[in-house]
Amino acid sequence: MMKFGIICEGITDFHVLKHIIQSFNEQAEFQPIQPCLDETHKKTSEGMFGGWELVSAYLQSDNLEDVIVNTDYLIIQIDTDICEHSNFNAAPITLADEDHDAFYERVKTKIIEWMDSFEPDTYDFYKEKIIFAISVHSLECWLLAYHGRNKGCRITGCDTALTAALRKQNKSINTLNKKANEYIEHSKDLKKRKNHSVILENSRSFSLFVEQLEKIEIV
């Protein structure tokens, strides 16, 4: 059974990523690393929090190598809406509109920089096990590409647009006070690869994530 470790911004991101990965490997085992979740994977463990800064902190910690060694693949997810923050400072956010792939690579380089900060060349040594889930500019944009259908390649304002798109279908989601159950419900269709096509057409960052999953040898 293939084991995926997941370092991501929050519990809702974990569940969406889990469903996408399951479309490639139904029997996959998942280890939530950051944030640390309770045994039900429905809430963060007491005293544990999410957010991009904790993703950064974990990647720069002495725990990272042990996690990589003890999983088959490590998924690293981060939203790029904070790319201009002084502690991130990966690229100007406007670059995503001008050259999406160049923007993506700048963010990826920053993540690798974090990985190498505790032990140099960590990424190069383990790069075959690392999968980047860089959501431009938020993971909600991936969900919007599926549920919105006619929203095109939108990368900003996705939280509000996703809420509106689901409301039209008599469904609800709170993208501010995120609830795991809502994200589980609204991403469950992604467990089937046939449902990825509309997202692949409308989200380049989703495509880049899926391309990495396609290269994995399922065992």
State which fold the 3-138+203-214 domain adopts. Answer: Rossmann fold (3.40.50)
Which among 129, 110, 135, 103 is positioned nearest to 13, based on CA atoms?
135
pLDDT of residue 37: 76
pLDDT of residue 36: 81
Q: Where are the domains of the chain?
A: 3-138+203-214
Supply the Cα-derived Rg of the chain in whole angstroms: 16
pLDDT tens-digit series, residues 5-54: 999 999 999 999 999 999 999 999 999 999 987 644 555 544 445 589 99
Residue located via tokens 């981060």? 78
Please say whether the beta carbons of 75 and 22 come within 8 A: no
pLDDT tens-digit series, residues 156-185: 999 999 999 999 999 999 999 899 999 999
Residue located via tokens 């990965």? 21
pLDDT of residue 41: 54
Is a pLDDT exceeding 90 seen at residue 114?
Answer: yes
Question: Which pTM does this prediction carry?
Answer: 0.93
β-pair partners for 34: 7
Long-range contacts of 60-69 (CB under 8 A, 24+ apart): 60/114, 60/115, 60/117, 60/118, 61/118, 62/118, 64/115, 64/118, 64/119, 64/122, 65/119, 65/122, 65/126, 67/5, 67/7, 67/31, 67/33, 68/5, 68/122, 68/126, 68/129, 68/130
Above pLDDT 70, what percent of the chain?
A: 92
Residue 37: phi and psi, rounded to 5, are -105, 160
